[in-house]
Structure 1
Amino acid sequence: MSDQVNKSLLKDNFYQAVNGEWLKHAKIPADHSTTGGFRDLVDQIDKTLMKDSDKLLSGKMQPKTKPMAEYKKFYAMAMNFQKRDDDGDKPLLPILNQVESLSSLKNLNAHLADWTLSGMPLPFGFDVDSDMKNAKINALSAYAPALFLPDKNYYKPGNKAAKKLMPIFTKMNQQLLILAGYSAPDADDIVANAKKFDKMIAPHVMSPEQMAKVQNTYHPDSFEHFAKYSKYVDLTSQIKALIGTVPKKINVVEPAYYKVMDKIVNPDNFNMMKDWMIVNIVMDCSDCLSEEFRQTGSVYGRALSGQKKAVSQKKAAYYLASGTFDQVVGLYYGHKYFGPKAKADVLKMVHKMIGVYKKRLANNTWLTKQTRQHAIEKLENLVPQVGYPDHLDPLFKKFKVTTTADGGTILSNLIKFTQIATKDMYAHWNKPVKRTRWEMPADEVNAYYHPLKNIIVFPAAILQAPFYSLKQSASANYGGIGAVMAHEISHAFDNNGSQFDKYGNMNNWWTKSDKANFNKRAKAMVDEFNGIPYAGGKVNGKLIVSENIADAGGLSCALEAAKSTDHPDLQAFFINWARIWRMKATTAYKRLLLSIDVHAPGELRVQVQVKNLDDFYKAFNIKPGDGMYLAPEKRVKIW
């Protein structure tokens, strides 16, 4: 019943025609903010892996590797709810005492490297990743701190969402601090100071729309010049302790923030900054302490998403353990539930999609020969990662759990693992980029394109129904996983990916006329979505343009692949495209995504994109006057 298509609506509201019956009956679980395509797969995988984790814990299943044995130990600690409740705030106190003992910024300077390795919150941060101009080498970047509210737009005067959210944030953190042993008056003061400090940061960080443009995040600077942004923080000594030397250059992701850093991070604001750190620490640690801490610490996040209640205690314990050992659990999932045969089969499908895309580029009519050839070369250098990695990342072999019997707590282990992982990250500075290294675990329902590595990644978890199944027709599979694969390929040629060459370097390989033509088409995609009413707000076409370009390219490329099969069924192709994006969500979550998500709402990914394809009109005999009709001259075509 839920997959029944309402044929009477096909010409007027395609999304409702395919998903309307499902939407009527679908219920959002109380511990969710959404239900539907992706979310249903996540729930299915969680259920499977939680069952296996319990077998591991009970001894019905034995760990086959040493890292899985360590995962078992950590999962046992996460599941020991009585011990966690008995400990209360004890695991947290040594960390809070470290912050409380700070007397000045000069005092903080002596601890900066250690604190960075331990993941302690600081109002400045660093990362090591591919250099955008020399993608073969790992470089150093500086980042601005995260805000309490979802993005800087929430801090504008009169923002209605902020008026609702900030009191919830305030009350939750006051309660968390009381649980951590602070008196009610002290908790009130600490949270008030933290909010003041957070508000000082907000005007100087980028908005989601600004961050969505990759060129806005690349600002190379000499480290000598960068270090002068602060008179009070010894950035030079901090970095020297982390990478062993003072680098010649650094990428300052958000220079506007660092230019005013002295106005924010200074002796006059030191106590405010300390309180900001305390609030962040208690929030970040709340999910690995007692049940009261966990429940209290989830209140703000649930308000953001409209989730009615926290996830179950058991599921939260699983998330805590599996998230810590994500690549270990992912590799287990990939081997057991996907396997080498499926990996080989899907890899063939990816290469077929690359071949179709290559053909489309070769026959492209709006690019000059020079740009077209560069695009084809980039495609030929594209490396797919499918299913799961061949080997576990060596990092996870270093994770050794200190059990409760040996004096360990969940929090002390997490800090130790963070130190190991952070040291590992900084050890990669100025070293060759490992292009084949997996960043996403195989049990994650997702896929992505990495412009600096020129790779596309499809974890095992997404390679199942409704995206892909032997029980579905080839056309339906192309409308599902085929379109997702081609979507990720298209990211190599969206408004961001198109700025990177075949090696992953930010490098203009376009002729001037071709770039102007592309920008004109991208602008048409912005305009097609911009201002569409949704969830009480309006769609920001600029925020979502890169994902929309990838959707358009992916759908058109997958359509061509479907048409090349022996018995193409274009109705099945489009219907499965509509099905994979079905989602029922709380209004709060819809509004949150509208503000910060670079993807269009699922309903609009279906409704708007299909109108751009001429074959959609033929498949469903759509004519002028039908709700799904868009005049040919208004149809946006890029790839």
Structure 2
Amino acid sequence: MKTKHYVAVAAFATLAMASCTGQQNATNTSGIDLANMDTTVSAGADFFRYACGGWNDAHPLTAEYSRFGTFDELAENNQKQLRELIEGLAAQQNEAGTTAQKVGDLYNLAMDSVALNEQGVTPVKPMLDKIAALTDKAQIIPTSIELLRTQGVGTYFSCYVYADPKNSSLNIFQMSQGGINLGEKSYYLDTDSVTENIRNEYKKYIGKLFTLAGFSEAEAQQKVADVMEIETAIAKVSKTATERRDPEANYHKMSYEELKKQIKGIDWDAYMKALGIQAPAELNVEQIEPIQEVGKLIASLPLSKHVSYLQYNLLDAAASCLSDDFVAARFDFYGKVMSGRQVNQPRWKRAVNTVNGVLGELVGQMYVEKYFPAAAKERMVQLVKNLQVALGERIDAQEWMSDSTKMRAHEKLDAFHVKVGYPDKWKDYSKLEIKNDSYWANICRASEWSYDDMMSRLGKPVDKDEWLMTPQTVNAYYNPSTNEICFPAAILQPPFFNMNADDAANYGAIGVVIGHEMTHGFDDQGRQFDKDGNLKDWWAEGDAERFQERTQVMVDFFNNIEVLPGLHANGQLTLGENIADHGGLNIAYLAYQNATKDAPLEVKDGFTPDQRFFIAYATLWAGNIRDEQIRVYTKIDPHSLGEWRVNGALPHINAWYDAFQITPEDPLYIAPEKRVNIW
């Protein structure tokens, strides 16, 4: 299910799942675990090490991980809890069509290594043969859509149904670039030794899949060349991850007739028919050039090359659901080469992840019932309100912003749709059948169910109560199209949220998370959407230019960070998340001051309340990471690396200097006039 389209939301971190255990009544502890720290290091020299050194030393990377931090630790706890829930259902006889049957049977199929190894490539053989039997280029697009609809396999470009960026109340048909399985164009085009090695290993992986599927070595090598030719051609005209961050530049609404005129070489009538929909009167094409290139490739390349490309996309998508040799081949490339991992996750973890991915809200219901305390939601709702007040005060304090823009900013802030814990209405999985045939067959049925669910929304009003994360996900997000902030149940636990801790730690941790997501509504992307979620310029003349002057300071600062020898951070790619961290810290600190002004907190465990605020924030980013994963994240991830969400963010926060008596002699010190000052 590699091609499910996820709406572009601003998440707090790269996705992780974790558990949420019940808390006792608040006892006002410090919220700080001294064992996590390394106070032999000066706070002003390396605050990441100062706050997180003990945790990092106690959690060295194991062979299974390319990155292991607080998010991953919680994910491990969560997997164990979900395993207990799921295996309890998998061990019993369940009535057909029930939640227990669907969850239990899918897990058992994923765990049955004997059956999977006996089946080998058999589950995908009929579709491989069908692709091989193509006789006319007119069959390419319908076949690619059949792969998408019935198997969840994406190919040349993607399509989805979601809110029109400029008419956020209506779901419309949209298309975006795709077709390159390495995800980012630079992997196909850069000529440095590291990237060239990745490309060579990628070719070996493609060839391995074809030989495992029964093709001769000569056939496999020809197919490798075919796949690379198509993917490289698409990559050359694709937009980078940084370019895709500009909402206006990636919005091209047009009529169906305009689509036919602008993008030739694709039979759009056949495309829509294969999708099973009426041709829409209007649609949005995010990136035009890569889809134009697909039309050219269909016209210019022989059918045999497209057959290779379609077959490879099927094998790549299905590999993790087939026999162990396919699983190993996929892990050897994506796990070892790309991320530096040494061993794959044990089978039970992969099976839990599949059930969680396919039946997310069914699992979520069980999870919330057992692990989510109602008191956590109540306290969280109050924290959100306090942060909204603080952000309003921060907006009023900005001298660079005009009164009219401030007024509209307040309107947007007041219109935030806040979601905490879990949905009021759960997804209906009644039409999704889980059968005891093959693991891949069930993944296909789940993909088709998901596709039909998405397409059923075409032309209908946007459901603003729908959740884009499951309750068991440790993360949070802001969605500009619905102007919503969402905090799933699983993030409401230590070190993010501690019912036993006082306000200093909680505002420094979950308070910053809340402020972070709120700030996304006003970062370089979010500020382009109005209170109703429409892509619309609501800023008074001159304000945008003054905003951009300030954000450029942040871009330049992060561009100068060397994350590995010769490799620098991408300040433009990470700008939105860096703005959100900056705003989140400022807003949460003000909210914490407001909350404690009438009853100041005491020094605890040797740290002042202000110090504990910043230590709690830094603790969220404790973790170790392999060089390979650093390279991947630097190319594709809009979030800065954990170390720099501490050492890169805090030196721009004035209150941090006061809390730890940071002076110009300290390595992290930045002169006041050079600090970022936004929100």
TM bucket (normalised to shorter chain) is over 0.9
Match of 1:116 in 2: 148
Residue type of the alignment partner of 1:597? D
**Alpha-carbon distance in 2 for matches of 1:348, 1:76:** 42
> What is the CA distance between 1:598 and its match in structure 2?
0.7
1:80 and 2:112 correspond: yes
Counterpart mapping for 1:221-236 below 5 A: 221-229=254-262, 231-236=264-269
Match of 1:468 in 2: 497
Identity within the alignment, %:
29
1:335 and 2:369 correspond: yes
**Alpha-carbon distance in 1 for matches of 2:320, 2:630:** 25
State the SS of the aligned residue for 1:91: helix
Match of 2:591 in 1: 561
> Alignment partner for residue 362 of structure 1, among 377, 384, 396?
396
8 Å CA contact retained: 1:230, 1:262: yes
Post-superposition Cα deviations, 1:571-610, rounded to whole Å, max 9, x if no partner, equal 0010111111122001100111111111111111111211
> What is the CA distance between 1:267 and its match in structure 2?
5.3
Distance 1:369 1:337, change over 3 A: same
Match of 1:402 in 2: 435
Match of 2:455 in 1: 426
Match of 1:41 in 2: 74
8 Å CA contact retained: 2:85, 2:366: no
Match of 2:215 in 1: 182
1:296 and 2:296 correspond: no
**Alpha-carbon distance in 1 for matches of 2:293, 2:325:** 39
**Alpha-carbon distance in 1 for matches of 2:355, 2:96:** 17
State the SS of the aligned residue for 2:123: coil
Match of 1:66 in 2: 98
State the SS of the aligned residue for 1:348: helix
**Alpha-carbon distance in 2 for matches of 1:402, 1:64:** 9
Residue type of the alignment partner of 1:357? L
Post-superposition Cα deviations, 1:44-83, rounded to whole Å, max 9, x if no partner, equal 11111112222222239x8999334311121121122211
> What is the CA distance between 1:314 and its match in structure 2?
2.0
> What is the CA distance between 1:114 and its match in structure 2?
3.5
Post-superposition Cα deviations, 1:135-182, rounded to whole Å, max 9, x if no partner, equal 000111112224133411222352322211122222222222222122
Higher relative contact order (CA 8 A, sep 6+): 2
Gaps of 5+ in 1: none
Post-superposition Cα deviations, 1:440-489, rounded to whole Å, max 9, x if no partner, equal 11111111100011001111111111111123332111111110111000
Residue type of the alignment partner of 1:24? D
Residue type of the alignment partner of 1:374? R
Post-superposition Cα deviations, 1:337-383, rounded to whole Å, max 9, x if no partner, equal 11433223222222221222123223433322111110011011101
8 Å CA contact retained: 1:334, 1:442: yes
Residue type of the alignment partner of 1:606? V
**Alpha-carbon distance in 1 for matches of 2:584, 2:56:** 26
State the SS of the aligned residue for 2:404: helix
> Alignment partner for residue 248 of structure 2, among 211, 215, 227?
215
> What is the CA distance between 1:112 and its match in structure 2?
5.7
Match of 1:20 in 2: 53
Post-superposition Cα deviations, 1:497-518, rounded to whole Å, max 9, x if no partner, equal 0000000001111001211211
1:270 and 2:303 correspond: yes
**Alpha-carbon distance in 2 for matches of 1:74, 1:157:** 41
8 Å CA contact retained: 2:61, 2:625: yes
**Alpha-carbon distance in 2 for matches of 1:622, 1:112:** 59
Residue type of the alignment partner of 1:332? M
Match of 1:459 in 2: 488
Higher deviation after alignment, 295-304 or 354-363: 354-363
Distance 1:251 1:310, change over 3 A: same
Distance 1:65 1:475, change over 3 A: farther
**Alpha-carbon distance in 2 for matches of 1:269, 1:459:** 49
> What is the CA distance between 1:219 and its match in structure 2?
1.4
**Alpha-carbon distance in 2 for matches of 1:368, 1:97:** 64
8 Å CA contact retained: 2:657, 2:663: yes
> Alignment partner for residue 416 of structure 1, among 445, 449, 457?
445
Distance 1:259 1:197, change over 3 A: closer
1:239 and 2:263 correspond: no
1:509 and 2:541 correspond: no
Post-superposition Cα deviations, 1:219-265, rounded to whole Å, max 9, x if no partner, equal 11222121245554321232255363222222111112133333222
1:105 and 2:105 correspond: no
**Alpha-carbon distance in 1 for matches of 2:100, 2:374:** 20
Post-superposition Cα deviations, 1:521-575, rounded to whole Å, max 9, x if no partner, equal 1111112211211123101111111111111000100111122223340100101
**Alpha-carbon distance in 2 for matches of 1:285, 1:27:** 32
> What is the CA distance between 1:616 and its match in structure 2?
0.9
Match of 1:482 in 2: 511
Distance 1:290 1:479, change over 3 A: same
Residue type of the alignment partner of 1:381? A
Distance 1:323 1:264, change over 3 A: same
Match of 1:345 in 2: 379
**Alpha-carbon distance in 2 for matches of 1:109, 1:280:** 14
Distance 1:623 1:120, change over 3 A: closer
8 Å CA contact retained: 2:155, 2:313: no
8 Å CA contact retained: 2:524, 2:576: yes
State the SS of the aligned residue for 1:70: helix
State the SS of the aligned residue for 2:175: strand
8 Å CA contact retained: 2:144, 2:310: no
Distance 1:439 1:185, change over 3 A: same
Distance 1:230 1:376, change over 3 A: closer
**Alpha-carbon distance in 2 for matches of 1:157, 1:149:** 13
8 Å CA contact retained: 1:288, 1:294: yes
Residue type of the alignment partner of 2:415? N
Distance 1:626 1:246, change over 3 A: same
Higher deviation after alignment, 357-366 or 446-455: 357-366
Q: TM-score, normalised by structure 2?
A: 0.90
Match of 2:551 in 1: 522
The list of structure 1 runs, each at least 4 consecutive aligned residues, that deviate by more than 6 angstroms after superposition, is 62-65
8 Å CA contact retained: 2:515, 2:587: yes
Residue type of the alignment partner of 2:374? P
8 Å CA contact retained: 2:515, 2:588: yes
Higher deviation after alignment, 171-180 or 597-606: 171-180
Match of 1:204 in 2: 237
Match of 2:660 in 1: 620
Residue type of the alignment partner of 2:277? G
State the SS of the aligned residue for 2:162: strand
Distance 1:113 1:208, change over 3 A: closer
Match of 1:635 in 2: 675
Higher deviation after alignment, 105-114 or 546-555: 105-114
> What is the CA distance between 1:113 and its match in structure 2?
4.8
**Alpha-carbon distance in 2 for matches of 1:155, 1:180:** 25
> What is the CA distance between 1:124 and its match in structure 2?
2.8
Aligned length, in residue pairs: 633
Counterpart mapping for 1:316-335 below 5 A: 316-335=350-369
8 Å CA contact retained: 1:474, 1:562: yes
**Alpha-carbon distance in 2 for matches of 1:616, 1:267:** 60
Residue type of the alignment partner of 1:215? E
Higher deviation after alignment, 593-602 or 265-274: 265-274
